[in-house]
Amino acid sequence: MNDFVFLYRSPPSLTLSPQQMQNRMQHWNAWFRDLESKGALANLGHPLTHAGGGVVKDKAGALSDGPFMETKDIVIGFSVIQAGSFEEAVSFATGCPIFDQGGVVEVRPIARM
């Protein structure tokens, strides 16, 4: 099995009502349970917060504010997935709830060191 990271990207302008948020979480939980039943969910990961922002630091020590809300979409969370191939990992992204809000899943292989 190989490890892959799913980076969940969402448009920065997305706002949800409490009911929409509850429905969204139910959909995410069901999707995670499905991945788990396939033996694909290695690490649920966590959502990332926009409150308090973040920074990008370079080698010289310079800091830039982040996350960058002016971008087309921002990473809102991640999961680590196990799959036999890249194609299988991509197929596991099918049905991801992020699609319902106009977001995307970036599937990246994790290098083994």
Give the separation between CA 69 and CA 53, rounded to whole angstroms: 10
Q: For the domain covering 2-109, report its CATH number.
A: 3.30.70.1060
Q: Domain spans of the chain? A: 2-109
Q: Within 13 Å, how many C-alpha atoms sit on residue 11's CB side?
A: 9
Give the model confidence (pLDDT) of 59-93 as tens digits: 777 766 655 555 566 788 899 999 999 999 999 99
Q: Is the pLDDT of residue 99 over 80?
A: yes
Residue 19 pLDDT class (50, 70, 90 cuts):
very high
Residue 85 is predicted with a pLDDT of 95
pLDDT tens-digit series, residues 36-66: 999 999 888 877 776 656 666 677 777 666 5
Residue 35: helix, strand or coil by DSSP?
helix
Query: H or E segment at 9?
Result: strand 2-10
